[in-house]
Structure 1
Amino acid sequence: MIPHSLLLETNETNELISCLNEINYTYERVSNLNEIYTQLEKQKFHFIILYVTNVKEKESLEMLSKIGTSFPNVLIILITDSSNWALTASLLKRHNAYDFIQSPIDCEHLKFTLDRSFQYLNTKMKSQFIHEAENQLFKRVIDIFDWKKSLTHKENENISADIIHQMNISLFQGSGIGTLMSVVSILLAKSKLDAENNVYHIPKPILDLVSENYEAAKSMFDSMSISQSVIDDDKVVETKESPSQLLPLFETEINFLEEALSIKKQKINLSQIPSSVTNLKIRMDQNKFSYVIREVLLNSIKYSKDGDQIYVLFFHRENFLEIKTINPAYQNEDDTHGIPEKYETFIFEPFFRISSVVDDSYAKFEQFRFGLGLTLVKKIMDQHQANVQIYNIDSNLRNENTKDVCLTIRIPLLQEEN
């Protein structure tokens, strides 16, 4: 996945923008430090990149410190030269900035620095979550072996029960293998032998159940096959298409999901693709992108409620096409809402679920299962050298003081080849 940066625009920024375009990394620009703070409240970025000459004043340094404190999961990268090394070293030492790039900028070195910083950022965010998870595990161990508590209520005898529970959710909960096995056992118990004609008589409702759950189990194995093909494929997508080709892909998937939408009387509102990208190209494997579209839309459908509106919006920003899928954020089992910040990175990890509830109503529409959906979305976006993030935003679509879940895909735009 590629990083997404916020740039403080100055007279010197053209050099930086030229390199970011060359390496196909996405970015947005603001004109002053106050705008940076405002943008960070509305949008998610991995880096803030600015020239050290723009943070020499006391007020600028105070704002930089405020940004670092308020948004610790956004790394500040400085661009500097030898004449400003003392200030650069001071900012790095005080942790106001994470790293620096020396000007004149070398594009290869810029890519190396951003990739290395991005790796650190992902590791940092995951370690924060893992540390919290370890604390929860420690509390769980204490609960299990606390004999005083065992007098008041029963606890699982060991931690492995939790692992078995997760396996049950992924493989056996709901229709499919588990129910198929149960129905087959009923079939064997309830079928009656007609010895004279050497045939078994099976009640129609039981055979219907077998047929229904056979199809569900078959769908599960088909999804395993599709998932395996995506997991095994590490090739970067080289095919380039017009961004306008995305619209029919979305329309096809929305039509396919009409039955899924009807379950809770939901609606998907699809915007048009900006005309300003017509003469540009994006990396696009239509088959793989269809997988992504269905998974993203189905996630929005499953985690929305009756009558909800889901929005798919296209924007042309700087050097990339942005696709936002927006649906209302609701309360989770742990009393958080939507996608808590601590989960924003971890939600793309295999088998991770915010909710352990499996809604069987949507099983037949799924291509990816077992907690692998967003993991494979990220994998496919990596192959397109694109970026995908998911986070909460303030609702601007419903005129209510609420939160929405926003899944954002950013695809670098490429110039038409002559």
Structure 2
Amino acid sequence: MIPHCLILNSQTTNELLPILNEVNFTYLRIQKLDEILHHLKNEKFHFIILPIEDLKDSNSQEILENISKSYPNTLIILVTDSNHWAQTASFLKRHSAYDYIQFPFEDEHVKLTLERSFQYLNTKLKSQFIHEAENHLFKRVIEIFDWKKSLTHKENQNISADIIHQMNISLFQGSGIGTLMSVVSILISKSKFDTENNYYIVQKPILDLLSENYDAAKSMFDSMSISQSVIDDDQTIETTESPIQLLPIFEAESKFLEEALSLKSQKINISQLPNSVTNHKIRFNLEKITYTIREILLNAIKYSKEGDEIFVIFFHRENFLEIKIINPAYQNEDGTIGIPEKYETLIFEPFFRISSVVDDSYAKFEQFRFGLGLTLVKKIMDQHQTNVKIYNIDDNLKNDNTKDVCLTIRFPLFIEEKKNG
């Protein structure tokens, strides 16, 4: 995961930007302190970076306390110097800020502070919503799906009963192997042997059913092969392309998913790429990016309802290209709406499902199964050193207090140096 920062613009924080670019952090700059809460309502940030000299009045203290209370999973980092130690210590003591960076900046100290803060945040998010009774299974699943190990490792022969349960759901419920076995049984029992011509007569409906479920089972094994290839690959993507390569992939995958969209009369609307990104590069592997785009579009389709529209919107913000995939949010089985904050991190974990209902209608379009879809999306994005998050946002178009689910991908942008010819 790549950290995303909200920065209060100043001469001091501007000198921090080259270091953030070097470590591939994405960031968004704002001009006024009172803009922070507005941005936090509409976007997820890991850090808020504030210069201490802009936090002198009582209103500043009130804003920081409001942020700490309302957005406890966003850490406030202060930029300070030797003239402001007392004020900095006061903010830290009151827990209005998590840590500080000293100016003038030392690159390694800045990187160490940010890395330490990010590790703390990740640990907090991991442990926040996992009950003690679930700890053993959670740790086992993480161990099994450590991307530095192959799933063929001997250690994985003792795979837990819960994982077997997930595979059983995917393999034997609905179309696929389970139904294929039933159809073969019917085929054997219902086929009539023609003794005169020495062949079996099979009714067309049985053969059609056999063919349909053979295709479903083959698709399932193909998805297992694709998933295995993604899991086993640990290499960071080094190849680069212009971001304009993304648009035709979204368009092609939307066309491929037309049949899936037709099941509930849905539509995908895709914006244009900003012209300002055309001179930049992103890390880019065509095959893996295609896997990712299909999965996130299909995920939005599955969790939307009749007649819904799904939006794909591109933004150029500071040093990154942001892609938002937005679909309406609906009530879950537990009464929550869309992606509750407590699930925003867990939803990328293996086998995690908000809903226990498996819709077999979309099985033939899926590349990743067994509850691994978003897990493998995150794995691919990590290989691209790109951040992916999913969360609820307010639907500001309808003015009826409804929510949307927003999956956001942030590709760090860079300009390749021209080689001397």
Q: Same fold (TM over 0.5)?
A: yes
Say whether residues 1:278 and 2:282 are aligned partners: no
Amino acid aligned to 1:281: K
Contact 1:3/1:114 (<8 A) preserved: no
1:13-412 equivalent positions in 2, closer than 5 A: 13-131=13-131, 165-195=165-195, 197-398=197-398, 400-412=400-412
Distance 2:222 2:162 in 1: 27
Per the TM alignment, residue 41 of structure 1 is displaced from its structure 2 partner at its CA by 1.2
Tell me the SS of whatever aligns to 1:315: strand
Whole-angstrom CA distance in 1 between matches of 2:95 and 2:233: 39
With over 3 angstroms needed to count, the CA separation of the structure-2 counterparts of 1:163 and 1:320, relative to structure 1, is closer
- What is the CA distance between 1:194 and its match in structure 2? 4.0
Q: Distance in 1 between matches of 2:119 and 2:365?
A: 34
Task: Confirm or deny: 8 A CA contact 2:5 2:49 kept in the other structure.
Answer: yes
Displacement after TM superposition at 1:299 (Å): 0.6
CA spacing shift, 1:61–1:133, aligned 2, 3 Å: farther
- Give me the whole-angstrom Cα distance separating, in 1, the residues matched to 2:183 and 2:370: 22
Relative distance call for 1:133 and 1:305 in structure 2 (3 A) is farther
Paired with 2:203 and 2:335, the residues of 1 have a C-alpha distance of 45
Q: Aligned to 1:12, what secondary structure does the other structure show?
A: helix
Q: Which amino acid aligns with 1:407?
A: L
Which string of whole-angstrom CA distances, capped at 9 and with x for unpartnered residues, describes residues 363-409 of structure 1?
11111111111111111111111111111111134554311111000
Work out the CA distance in 2 between the residues paired with 1:225 and 1:367: 9
The amino acid that maps onto 2:220 is M
* Distance (whole Å) between structure 2 residues aligned to residue 25 and residue 351 of structure 1: 29
Q: Give yes or no for contact 2:166–2:370 (8 Å, CA) kept in 1.
A: no
SS at structure 2 position matched to 1:305: coil
Question: Does the Cα contact within 8 Å between 1:64 and 1:96 map onto a contact in 2?
Answer: yes
Matched, 1:6 2:6: yes
The TM-score normalised by the length of structure 2 is 0.88
Instruction: Check the 8 A contact 1:169/1:356 in 2, yes or no.
Output: no
Which segments of structure 1 move beyond 6 Å, counting only runs of 4 or more?
160-164
Cα separation, 1, equivalents of 2:258 and 2:116: 43
**What is the distance in 1 between the residues matched to 2:227 and 2:219?**
12
Whole-Å separation in 1 of the counterparts to 2:120 and 2:202: 61
1:130 partner SS: coil
Counterpart Cα distance in 2 of 1:11 and 1:238: 33
1:319–1:412 Cα contact (<8 Å) kept? yes
Q: Quick one: which amino acid aligns to residue 2 of structure 2?
A: I
- Distance between the aligned counterparts of 1:175 and 1:110, measured in 2? 54
* Distance in 2 of aligned mates of 1:368 and 1:412: 26
- Residues 79 and 102 of structure 1 are in contact (CA less than 8 Å); yes or no, is this contact kept in structure 2? yes
Cα shift at 1:198: 4.3
Verify the 8 A CA contact 2:79 2:103 in the aligned structure 1. Answer: yes
Deviation at 1:53, TM superposition (A): 2.6
How many residues are treated as equivalent by the alignment?
Answer: 395
Match of 1:155 in 2: none
- Name the SS for the 1:105 alignment partner: coil
* 8 A contact 1:273–1:315 mirrored in 2: yes
SS at match of 1:326: strand
- Give distance in 1, aligned partners of 2:229 and 2:134: 33
Alpha-carbon distance change, 188 to 107 in structure 1, aligned in 2, over 3 angstroms: farther
Moved more, 351-360 or 54-63: 54-63
How far did 1:358 drift? Answer: 1.3
SS in 2 for 1:337: coil
Q: 1:194 touches 1:200 (CA, 8 Å); kept in 2?
A: yes
Percent identity over paired residues: 74
What SS class does the counterpart of residue 228 from structure 1 fall into? Answer: helix
Which sections of structure 2, spanning at least 5 residues, go unmatched?
138-159
* CA shift in 2, pair 1:179/1:67, >3 Å: same
Residue 111 of structure 1 deviates from its aligned partner by 2.9
The aligned amino acid for 1:372 is L
Q: More deviation in 288-297 or 160-169?
A: 160-169
Alignment RMSD: 2.1
Normalising by structure 1, report the TM-score. Answer: 0.89
Distance 1:240 1:163 in 2: 36
Cα distance in 2 for residues equivalent to 1:398 and 1:300? 20
Matched residues in 1 for 2:113 and 2:229: separation?
32
Query: What is the aligned partner in structure 1 of residue 148 from structure 2?
Result: none
**What is the deviation of 1:12?**
1.1
Residue equivalent to 2:145: none
Instruction: For residue 162 of structure 1, report the CA deviation from its aligned partner.
Output: 6.8
CA contact (8 A) 1:122 1:345 kept: no
- One-letter identity of the residue aligned with 1:343: Y
CA-CA distance at 1:350 after TM superposition: 0.7
1 CA distance for matches of 2:164 and 2:282? 43
Range with greater deviation from structure 2 (264-273 or 26-35): 26-35
1:255 offset after TM fit, Å?
Answer: 1.1
Residue identity opposite 2:304 in structure 1: S
